[in-house]
Structure formats: structure tokens, C-alpha cells
């Protein structure tokens, strides 16, 4: 006989549901469930795993724990630290890149997980961010090449007819496929992870309350907790903006029609990517930059992207801010320091706000800065035993950083010792040309006290760019003057995102530019530009043969 403690039942009907679920399991002989006592007594055949019983109960949305037994309880069990002799219980809030990585790694290391998600499984990347945006950007890239390419003298070109509704259907189908394959399907079949659909709120450092989407509440006790709640598009304090139906990146990617005129407020990653995509699909786009494009990057990067935008007819207004926004007769009217602007749609892409305000963090001592959770090098918050990673923290907002942080946090929550080293973190902006960076910019290196030497290689000197007839862009290397050690790389090129990982590995290996210049790189690849740029520290590459070593 196996005895279970079952919490979360609110009536005899709940007890009947639990009994029916248990009776369906192989090896179960008989079941008695008591709602008033919160127990289930299960007679089973020899060898029937107790974990299968608790898992069957937790899948119904209740919590189950083995009574008077040392057999581990599953993720949904209500576990008190120091009392249960079974597996460690970890509560994971969220289901995006950070949360999934944390849940899977912790389960791999023997923990049982309760994962709480208030909305759609998968987080922003697969649902409303990376995946749909890159699909749209790719479609826009193809539309652009069909309209205009460097080979138009010999290849006919014709502007395509863009059916945005069909593109959106294709985009969302792929999103749903990836969400099911990488999130829903994995969670559905994982015996150590129980999913609760609802909103979590911390009660203390070892318990939280979940308001289930169906209306009831459950209290979860945990040994460790992980926060991976991500972030959402922020709303700047512009007069009148909140009263208008403006677009965020989320709603812009879900548009089934293309605006004739589009204004984009913002000049960072999301703003520039979507501005160019809409322009290439047929919208007339005006972009408002408070200072300049990509102001956090080396100035040459923003200048190169701006030049590309202007060649494509995208209007870039620098040093421009909206003072007031109105929406009248289906038209957005913006009052700016550059005059009055009008458009059919307004996209606001000025940053993201961490999803932390509903977690009751301050009451339990978890410190935040402008809503972002502060974490140390082990991904632990200011409260021992509570960890966080991803866009809800003060870390860089990249999904691969989130996943790496979640995985390392799981190691630490389960007794290991792992840190997240961001000294060689690559970043890619999917404009055309792409922007890819790693390490320090020249300004950052100088601020940190390095004596630096830099070189800039225009793409006219890269054979791959020459044969592509696409030489708009550059590769810049920042090195320590005396040792030649590589400190950073900034690249603006058609395939910059594909070459940057080689620079990441060089940084990790603490290679010098001389060593990079001596390496073998395949000819007629864009990554060969790294070798050529490294060689410019000691020679004039214009005087080399096309594939000279």
C-alpha cells in the first residue's frame, strides 16, 4: 500500500478525479481518496513505481507527496526543506529560454520541478520575439533581392506582390511547430516536471502562492526557486501615447496587413530590425532616434547601418523625440522637435520592462533595479536559495545568455558551482548588412585602462564581399598594443553573424592578432575577413595576392 498526501482538492469531486486518474495506471489494484483528510491510499502490484502515482495526481493540477516514505516525490509535491528525505524540490517561474534551461538541467541533476507559467509556454523568443521576427526579416530580405540586387544587369528583377496575411500564416505555423517541439512536448512528457498554469507570488523565501488560471489557488513549498519571467515592451512617457493603439514589437509581428506609412520610435536592435523589414515589404518608414542609430555601439556601426537605410529609402531622423502623440481618423499624429509627422501605424520600440512587479519580491528581500532582479556571478539573487536569469534580471537581453544563465543556476541550485562568464558574449543585429560584435569596443577598452591599437578593414578588401558585389561595411579589431591580444571585434557585413563566433573563440583563447593572422581561413568566405583584418596590424593587405597567407 502506498499512501499519498494530496493538497489542492476542494470538494469530493476533486477526490473522484484523483481516484479515477490513479485507477487507470498499470499495476494499481484499488484506490481510496479522502478529500477531508487530503489523502490517497493506493494498493499496487509489486514493482509499481510510486513516482507514477504522484505524477498522475500532479498532472491534474493538485499536489501530491508520499506519506511516510523515503521515495522521492515529483515536481508538484509540497516539500518543506529539511523534512522531506526525497529529491530536492525546485519551483521555476516562467517557461522561456532561462526557465526551461533551469528546469531541464535541474531535473537532469535529480531534482523535481514545479514549473509555473501564467501565459503561453515558451516565453517571448519562440512566440513573439526571435523566431517570428527572423522569419519576417528573412521574407523581407528575399522581397528586397527580388526587387533589387547587384546582378540586375544580367538578371531580371521585379518587385514581388506581398501577401502579408499568407506570410503571417507561414510564420505562425513555424512558431507553433517550434513551441510544441521545444517546449510543450518536452514538458508534457517529462516525468520530473509538473506544469501549473497560473500567476506566482512569493509568500516567503520557501513558499509561493499560485493563482491558477482556472481561479483556484495553490501554495507551493520549495527548497530552491528560480525566476525566469522575462520582459515585455516598455512604454515611454510620451504625452497621449497610452491613449493610442500604437504597435509594440509583439503586435507589429502579428499584423496581417502592411501599413502604407510607418513611424518607428526607437533606434536600438528591435527598432532597426523591424524598420528595415517593414520597409523592404513595402511600407514607407520613418525612424526617430533620440540620439543616433545603435548608440550603444561603436559610432561607425550606427553610421554604416544609417547609410544602408538611406540607400533603401528609410527616413532616419536623428536627435528627434516625440513630444505628443494623437490618433485621429485612423492616423497617428506625432508632434516632434523636427515637426509634425503622420502615419498609418506607429511602432514603439524603446526598450523592455522586466516582468517582476507581481512577484512580491521586495517583501522577501529580493533586490531589483528599475524592476530588474540583481543577481551575482552564480545567478543567485539577494535572497539565498532564490535564483534568476534572463530578461527579468540585470543581465544582457539575449536568449542564449538567458539559457546559459538558467542552466548554470540549476547547477548551483542542486549543489554545484557554476558561473556565467560574459567576457566573450557575441551579439548580432539582423539588419542588412548585419551587425555582429564581441568583446570591447575601442571606447570601452580605453575606459578600462588598456593601451589599445585598432584596425578597420573595409569590405572592399575581403574577396567574398567583392565576388558578392556587396562591399558595404567593415570589420574592426581592437587589440592591446604591447601584446597584440585581441580585445574586441565589431563587424558590419552581409554575413557578420556567421563570422563572429570565430572571433568569440579567439577571445576565449586569448589569441593575439598576429596569431589570428597566421591561422588558416577558407578562401572566399566572409570569416576570412577576420584574418585579413588581423594582418593589417603588420602589413598592407592591398599588396597581398587574393589568397595569400
CATH classification at residue 484: 3.30.390.30
Query: Is residue 160 included in any domain, yes or no?
Result: no
In tens, the pLDDT along 213-245 reads: 999 999 999 999 999 999 999 999 999 999 999
Annotated active-site residue in 9, 392, 477, 511: 9
Q: Are residues 331 and 361 in the same domain?
A: no
CB under 8 Å to 2, separation ≥6 — which residues?
A: 41, 42, 44, 48, 50, 53, 66, 69
Q: What is the CATH number of the domain that holds 36?
A: 3.30.70.100
Cell (9 digits) for 174: 513555424
Residue 294, CA atoms < 13 Å, CB-side half-sphere: 27
Contacts for 122 with CB less than 8 Å, ≥ 6 apart: 95, 96, 178, 179, 182, 183, 184
Catalytic residue among 35, 130, 327, 400: 130
Check residue 548 and give its pLDDT: 62
List, for residues 410-425, the tens digit of each pLDDT value. 999 999 999 999 999 9
String of b and e for 378-408 (b: at least 16 CB within 10 Å)? bbbbebeebbbbbbbbebebbbebbbbbbbb
Assess if residue 110 is contained within a domain.
yes
Low-confidence ranges of the chain (pLDDT < 50): 68-85
Residues 258 and 228 in one domain: no
Q: Please indicate whether residue 547 is annotated as part of the active site.
A: yes
How high is the pLDDT of residue 26?
85
For residue 384, the enclosing domain spans 72-154+165-233+351-422
Listed in sequence order, the residues at least 6 apart from 222 whose beta carbon sits closer than 8 Å to its beta carbon are 79, 81, 89, 90, 91, 114, 206, 207, 208
* Residue 359 and residue 339 in one domain: no
Cα angle 185, 186, 189; round to 5: 85
Domain boundary pick from 14, 37, 69: 69
Catalytic, out of 125, 413, 477, 533: 125
Strands (E), 279-319: 284-288, 315-317
Q: Is residue 48 part of a domain?
A: yes
Q: Are residues 466 and 369 in the same domain?
A: no
Active site residue 546: yes
If asked whether residues 120 and 254 sit together in one domain, one would say no
Indicate which residue of 1, 35, 62, 526 is catalytic: 62
Of the listed 14, 100, 136, 477, which one is catalytic? 14
User: Is the CB of residue 394 less than 8 Å from the CB of residue 373?
Assistant: yes
Whether 265 is in a domain gets the answer yes
Residue 335's pLDDT is: 98
Q: Find the CATH number of the domain harbouring 262.
A: 3.50.50.60
Q: With contact defined as beta carbons under 8 Å apart, do 52 and 25 qualify?
A: yes
- Nearest CA to 19 among 47, 36, 1, 42? 42
Verify that 407 and 448 share a domain, yes or no. Answer: no
Domain shared by 300 and 401, yes or no: no
Same domain assignment for residues 249 and 328: yes
| Whether residues 249 and 326 fall in one domain | yes
Among 203, 529, 348, CA closest to 211: 203
43 lies in a domain?
Answer: yes
Q: Omega into 406 within 30° of 0, i.e. cis?
A: no
State whether 388 and 270 are in the same domain: no
Residues 510, 410 share a domain: no
14 annotated active-site: yes
- Nearest of 94, 117, 92 to residue 103 by alpha carbon: 92
Same domain, 404 and 435: no
**548: in domain:** no
Boundary (domain end) residue, out of 349, 374, 405: 349
Nearest to 57 by CA among 80, 81, 75, 45: 75
Residue 304 within any structural domain of the chain? yes
130 part of the active site: yes
Q: Tell me, yes or no, if 62 is annotated catalytic.
A: yes
For 35-74, the DSSP string reads TTTTEEEEEE-TT--HHHHHHHHHTTT-EEEESS--SPP-
Give the end of a domain, one of 21, 42, 69. Answer: 69
Number of domains in the chain: 4
Q: From the candidates 183, 246, 526, 546, give the one annotated as an active-site residue.
A: 546
The catalytic residue among 183, 246, 533, 547 is 547
> Shortest CA distance to 318 belongs to which of 279, 340, 291?
291
What own/partner pairs with CB < 8 Å and gap ≥ 24 does 518-523 have? 518/549, 520/549, 523/463, 523/547
Residue 11 catalytic? Answer: yes
Residue 187, in any domain of the structure:
yes
Amino acid at each position: 500500500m502506498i499512501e499519498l498526501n494530496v493538497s489542492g482538492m476542494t470538494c469530493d469531486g476533486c477526490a473522484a478525479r484523483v481516484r479515477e486518474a490513479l485507477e487507470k495506471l498499470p499495476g494499481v489494484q484499488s484506490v481510496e481518496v479522502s478529500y477531508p483528510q487530503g489523502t490517497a491510499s493506493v494498493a499496487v502490484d509489486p514493482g509499481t513505481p510510486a513516482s507514477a502515482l504522484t505524477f498522475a495526481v500532479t498532472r491534474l493540477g493538485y499536489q501530491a507527496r508520499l506519506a511516510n516514505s523515503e521515495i522521492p516525490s515529483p515536481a508538484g509535491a509540497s516539500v518543506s526543506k529539511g523534512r522531506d528525505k526525497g529529491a530536492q524540490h525546485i519551483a521555476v517561474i516562467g517557461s522561456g529560454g532561462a526557465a526551461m534551461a533551469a528546469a531541464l538541467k535541474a531535473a537532469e541533476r535529480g531534482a523535481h520541478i514545479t514549473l509555473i507559467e501564467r501565459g503561453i509556454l515558451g516565453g517571448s523568443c519562440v512566440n513573439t520575439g526571435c523566431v517570428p521576427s527572423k522569419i519576417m526579416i528573412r521574407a523581407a530580405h528575399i522581397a528586397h533581392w527580388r526587387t533589387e540586387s547587384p546582378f540586375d544587369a544580367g538578371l531580371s528583377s521585379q518587385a514581388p506582390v506581398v501577401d502579408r496575411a499568407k506570410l503571417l500564416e507561414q510564420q505562425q505555423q513555424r512558431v507553433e511547430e517550434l513551441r510544441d517541439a521545444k517546449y510543450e512536448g518536452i514538458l508534457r512528457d517529462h516525468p520530473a516536471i509538473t506544469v501549473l498554469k497560473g500567476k506566482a507570488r512569493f509568500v516567503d523565501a520557501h513558499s509561493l502562492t499560485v493563482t491558477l488560471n482556472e481561479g483556484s489557488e495553490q501554495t507551493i513549498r520549495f527548497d530552491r526557486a528560480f525566476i525566469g519571467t522575462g520582459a515585455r515592451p516598455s512604454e515611454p512617457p510620451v504625452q497621449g501615447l497610452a491613449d493610442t493603439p500604437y504597435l509594440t514589437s509583439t503586435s507589429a509581428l502579428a499584423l496581417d496587413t502592411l501599413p502604407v506609412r510607418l513611424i518607428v520610435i526607437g533606434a536600438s536592435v528591435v527598432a532597426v530590425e523591424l524598420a528595415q523589414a517593414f520597409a523592404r515589404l513595402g511600407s514607407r518608414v520613418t525612424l526617430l532616434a533620440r540620439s543616433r542609430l545603435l548608440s550603444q555601439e561603436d559610432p561607425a556601426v550606427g553610421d554604416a547601418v544609417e547609410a544602408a537605410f538611406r540607400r533603401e529609402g528609410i527616413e532616419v531622423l536623428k536627435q528627434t523625440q516625440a513630444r505628443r502623440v494623437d490618433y485621429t481618423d485612423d492616423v497617428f499624429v506625432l508632434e516632434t522637435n523636427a515637426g509634425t509627422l503622420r502615419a498609418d501605424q506607429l511602432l514603439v520600440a524603446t526598450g523592455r520592462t522586466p516582468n517582476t512587479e507581481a512577484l512580491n519580491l521586495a517583501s522577501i528581500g529580493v533586490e531589483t533595479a528599475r524592476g530588474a532582479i540583481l543577481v551575482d556571478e552564480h545567478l543567485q539573487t539577494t535572497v539565498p536559495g532564490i535564483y534568476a536569469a534572463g530578461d527579468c534580471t540585470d543581465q544582457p537581453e539575449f536568449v542564449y545568455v538567458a539559457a546559459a544563465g538558467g542552466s548554470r543556476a540549476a547547477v548551483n541550485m542542486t549543489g554545484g558551482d557554476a558561473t556565467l562568464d560574459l567576457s566573450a558574449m557575441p551579439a548580432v543585429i539582423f539588419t542588412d548588412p548585419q551587425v555582429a560584435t564581441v568583446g570591447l569596443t575601442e571606447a570601452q577598452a580605453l575606459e578600462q585602462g588598456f593601451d589599445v591599437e585598432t584596425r578597420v578593414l573595409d569590405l572592399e578588401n575581403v574577396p567574398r564581399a567583392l565576388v558578392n558585389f556587396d562591399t558595404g561595411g567593415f570589420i574592426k579589431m581592437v587589440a592591446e598594443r604591447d601584446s597584440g591580444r585581441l580585445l574586441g571585434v565589431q563587424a558590419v557585413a552581409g554575413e557578420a553573424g556567421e563570422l563572429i563566433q570565430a572571433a568569440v573563440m579567439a577571445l576565449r583563447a586569448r589569441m593575439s592578432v598576429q596569431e589570428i593572422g597566421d591561422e588558416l581561413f577558407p578562401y572566399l568566405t566572409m570569416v576570412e575577413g577576420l584574418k585579413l583584418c588581423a594582418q593589417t596590424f603588420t602589413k598592407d593587405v592591398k599588396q597581398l595576392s587574393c589568397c595569400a597567407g
